[in-house]
Amino acid sequence: MNDYKHLREQFKIMFPDWKDEEVNKYAKFMSDKYSTIKRGDNIIHLEYYEGILIKDDIDEISSTIAQEGLELSRFDKNGVPYASAQDFMLHVSLILRDPVVGNLILGVTGGAMWDAIKASSILIWKKIKERHWSKNTKKENRIKPLNFGLHVSIDKNTEIDLKIDGGLSEESALKALDKVIDLIKSTKKNQKSPSASFFQTDSHGNWCKVDTNKEMRSQILKQNEKK
């Protein structure tokens, strides 16, 4: 449960050295964040960082998808500890689940619905590019850039992450989005154990599957070589 009472009890156990005031403050902080999460058959969920996306952006996304009967759920990740900002996880993402995904695949009102999702995706991509990626090019402020993409849950065992590169032209980013439905349809479903696949765009807006285990091993070897 993500209400204040349950979070407070959870955090008292997780942070035994914290004072009651600190536990209460953090429980209130997190319960307020979780209160923006919605559930339902018409929900699209956004995970983001306030500041990279602002209220006007959220309102525009909500309005765009509402025209197709969809409702926006959101979660601001500011202040929430994560293990690391890995290259092969989505930092800012739109999350699509059934029955929305099913409607897109079957084409049941899916065309207009996808247009709304695509418009929202390109808006988010452009805002991150404007407020984060462009500023991150300055050497003195350079940090590991946040990425953006779509997380698509096809069924209980099959998920795909689709990272849209920040260095693309808008034309190539739109080209990549135009290929998403076909990629979802062509994804082989996992029959047994749950598994997620990671795709990222190339410079032409084509989707390329990434062997994340191989890439992470390569990164670790490179880091060890520098020591």
- 166-181 pLDDT per residue, tens: 889 999 999 999 999 9
Q: Is 177 found in the same domain as 99? A: yes
Structural domain for 3, as ranges: 1-35
Residue 7 has pLDDT above 50, yes or no: yes
Q: Is 76 found in the same domain as 178? A: yes
Q: Is 83 found in the same domain as 193? A: yes
Q: Is 107 found in the same domain as 21? A: no
Tell me the C-alpha distance between 52 and 131, whole Å: 6
84, 146, 218, 221 from 226: Cα distances, Å: 20, 24, 13, 9
What's the pLDDT score for residue 140?
46
Strand pairing report for 148-155 and 92-96? parallel
Tell me the C-alpha distance between 168 and 95, whole Å: 21
Q: Is 28 found in the same domain as 123? A: no
> Comparing C-alpha atoms, which of 176, 70, 159, 59 is closest to residue 118?
176
Tell me the C-alpha distance between 25 and 147, whole Å: 30
What's the pLDDT score for residue 202?
93
Q: When comparing pLDDT for 76 and 110, which is higher?
A: 76
Q: Is 64 found in the same domain as 96? A: yes
Q: Is 121 found in the same domain as 14? A: no
Q: Is 27 found in the same domain as 54? A: no
What's the pLDDT score for residue 4?
87
Quote the number of domains for the chain: 2
CA terminus-to-terminus distance, the chain = 44
* pTM recorded for the entire structure: 0.84
91-149 tens-digit pLDDT: 999 999 999 999 888 876 668 999 999 999 999 999 998 888 766 555 444 456 788 99
Q: Is 120 found in the same domain as 47? A: yes
Q: Is 124 found in the same domain as 29? A: no
Q: Is 27 found in the same domain as 46? A: no
Q: When comparing pLDDT for 87 and 118, which is higher?
A: 118
Residue 151 has pLDDT above 90, yes or no: yes
Q: How confident is the model at residue 46 (pLDDT cuts 50, 70, 90)?
A: very high
Q: Is 69 found in the same domain as 20? A: no
